[in-house]
Structure 1
């Protein structure tokens, strides 16, 4: 049993931890408790030894491990998806270790975490801070399981703090758009990139609800005549590499395609003839653009062709074999060359294997929806400079582009993001009165309720949704025809001409 030890002016309690190892009764701050009498010291020591024998005793020194040391050990012990590991590392290195690295685990109190939370919210979005605090909470929970600490200082107590009618952590509502907005944004993105790829990809994302990684990772072998199969996604790591991994939450699924979208995708594949990427050895439906389009790169052959209303082959002939081209055509091409400031090689771009999320959103999608290039040091935000002909305007590129421009785009759906197209698809399905079971299947969501188990998807449900999406697409084409019967984007121009014939 425990015993009391005379220290001259006080008594201290001592108890056996293991063979040859004894502990001293301490308070919550690990300071030795000074007892006035031998009897009190002996009673406290006995109580501690009972805890040791029953397995309920915790070593007071355990919580003195520094947060940084424990966090490193904790991270090394995780075995999760590469994307999750990357996020945890970023949370720790950029936001948690700078504040808590040298603090012993047991010394970190709720007030310390709350003070850090308040400081972070002054610099970052509340939703981001909430995510980082969640990681901190997880680290402390595992420390509790290892009996290093007794409580979690990152846990939030319910019913405390400022009262508000809505959560302070609630972010702004996602911006969505309508079918015409989808078409116009996709057309602009294609004009900015100088390819048809972005038009096809934008329409596909908006009419399937695919996640960004699923769209980038869509392999040609998973295209079907009437559907596409989501089997993989490509997740972009901080290193710039792409991780080929299962879709989020293992949401493998088959997405039905309206006939017109199936034709659009099959035509795109036939036209681009995808080859295997060097990183995974897989042929993907969509490929990257290459260097970022900042609005300052040189004009390309396709820009000249659009301006002059001819094919890229004709522009090439004017540059290399002018005698093979009619004088009137040569004049139009040379006028376009002068207007755009085109120089040989100025618009050459090596095709990348895959889109970069940030580059796509910054230099293609955001300018398409807002009409403005975003602020990116050292440049300030600025409108996309356009040559107004052919409609809806060809982006002017290269040095002095703003001086040659004669128009700019108006916003379509300012604030819309690539992920907002996924929200848009869900919203369109709601408006079409699509059954929830079919919506969940299409979006890759899981409804674990009892009611969901008793609902089943029928062929009529699928056909009804395809008919509704087709009707919306046709109305969007009609509205676009009313604006202008042609488009500088080849694939859209073909669609408009087909639609015009049907209407006649």
Structure 2
């Protein structure tokens, strides 16, 4: 075995030669390598001996920034993974290590960087992810012979104060079945259509990921199941990348007949970006007005010397505008050739994660719009659960606001909610993994298989939960401003709502 030898202010690595004598680790030019620490020298000597007594030479000149860029260019991974690596490198690694020589980075430097990131307010899980990327970059530097040891390697249990508990994130917020229904109803009221109701119920009763629901194609919706083949992953450029689901977890998810009916009732639209017919589309106009050619509303206002609100009033034929001002605005419209909604009056082809969370999901879950100063969602209290008020002086015209349903809940939290539902229903672990797209590599999982009876019991149990949630909602108020839910409430006692056999089973269980 090799050993480290102290030589003044540095260490040299000594390893055994074929002749039985000891040699010193040298660089490519034949000069002995001067290691900064005993540990690095010992590891360099051992690696030289293991690699056929070949000297291991670190690079004392290449800077981390140059190596990280070269490393990134060599990767050929999924677009989402490449995007994440770029974020980690540019936002968290380069600010600290860019001008450092690769061979000069020590374990103490990496630990100090990780500590500073946590002190800046970043979550432990995030810092752990960025450190893993740094470890990958430096591990490849070791393989290339640029350095002899990976300073980002952390020995198990080293530097922890309280075992594993310190690195655990906060518990994920979940809700119950009635919470899913109420959340979906509020989101539909905020968007003004039924699509968001169906989408959130789908998230809560299938455990699909956000990108998988956005990328759900009409051809994969079947009477008793949906097939997850693709997802739409939103990149930093704004492009929605059509790619396989996370971890290539293609799967068939069994769904109750009532949910399949909701999905098939959706009007599928073929988007221009992928040429595929998707079940769901966006709820707002596309964010492209700044790139549209031709005059805009603000241009008309500037030419006429009025506000954009006055121009909008003229376009909407309101009587509040004076005749002379109206003529001025009309003349400006004619002079500029302004055409209202010239680019497109259609909605965006797909939801955007941030827009959906900010303007639909979070207000529905918490009853407040997000921001530095979260404000309550103004509503008119009748009909229950209230209709959101919009426009000027919305808060003054409202007479009520929503109370929270599930503070801290996120769209991914509905995936956790679905897993909890399955546990409560006694679903076998092998079927739960199949539904969620998880892979269990244990021996027990290898000898476990799903059966049609397992799937039938799951769909029956989900149907029971849904029936109970609709009944509980009807007790609060027998009608709903959301069309699809109102239809369910009105017909819940008829075979149109659920198959007769299931209704008979539900009645028998409650008697």
Who is 1:85 aligned against? 82
> 1:286·1:354 contact (CA, 8 Å) conserved in 2?
yes
* TM-fit CA distance, 1:16: 13
Paired with 2:424 and 2:24, the residues of 1 have a C-alpha distance of: 72
1:187-226 Cα offsets, whole Å, 9 max, x none, are: 0001011111000000011111111111000011111122
Using a 3 Å threshold, how does the CA distance of structure 1 residues 15 and 170 change in structure 2: closer, same or farther?
Answer: closer
Select 2:272's aligned residue among 274, 278, 290.
Answer: 278
Who is 1:440 aligned against? 433
* TM-fit CA distance, 1:438: 0.7
Who is 1:309 aligned against? none
| Structure 1 runs not aligned, ≥5 long | 1-13, 31-46, 294-318, 321-343
Question: What does 1:132-147 align with in structure 2 at a 5 Å threshold?
Answer: 132-147=130-145
Paired with 2:138 and 2:129, the residues of 1 have a C-alpha distance of: 15
Confirm whether residue 183 of structure 1 aligns to residue 171 of structure 2. Answer: no
Who is 2:304 aligned against? none
Confirm whether residue 352 of structure 1 aligns to residue 348 of structure 2. Answer: yes
> 1:15·1:24 contact (CA, 8 Å) conserved in 2?
no
Paired with 2:275 and 2:33, the residues of 1 have a C-alpha distance of: 63
> 1:86·1:238 contact (CA, 8 Å) conserved in 2?
yes
Off by >6 Å, runs of 4+ in structure 1: 14-18
Paired with 2:349 and 2:53, the residues of 1 have a C-alpha distance of: 58
Paired with 2:25 and 2:134, the residues of 1 have a C-alpha distance of: 35
Who is 1:323 aligned against? none
Who is 2:231 aligned against? 233
Secondary structure at the aligned position of 2:77 is classed as coil
- Superposed CA RMSD in Å reads 2.8
1:357-395 Cα offsets, whole Å, 9 max, x none, are: 11111110011011011115xxx2101001111111011
* TM-fit CA distance, 1:26: 4.8
Confirm whether residue 73 of structure 1 aligns to residue 70 of structure 2. Answer: yes
| Structure 2 runs not aligned, ≥5 long | 1-22, 38-44, 288-315, 318-339, 496-502
Question: What does 1:99-498 align with in structure 2 at a 5 Å threshold?
Answer: 99-123=96-120, 124-164=122-162, 166-268=164-266, 272=267, 274-291=268-285, 350-375=346-371, 380-498=373-491
1:7-43 Cα offsets, whole Å, 9 max, x none, are: xxxxxxx99999xx9533353259xxxxxxxxxxxxx
TM-score norm. by structure 1 comes to: 0.77
Secondary structure at the aligned position of 1:24 is classed as coil
> 2:25·2:55 contact (CA, 8 Å) conserved in 1?
no
Confirm whether residue 499 of structure 1 aligns to residue 492 of structure 2. Answer: yes
> 1:226·1:259 contact (CA, 8 Å) conserved in 2?
yes
Paired with 1:160 and 1:497, the residues of 2 have a C-alpha distance of: 62
* TM-fit CA distance, 1:278: 1.0
Using a 3 Å threshold, how does the CA distance of structure 1 residues 167 and 292 change in structure 2: closer, same or farther?
Answer: farther
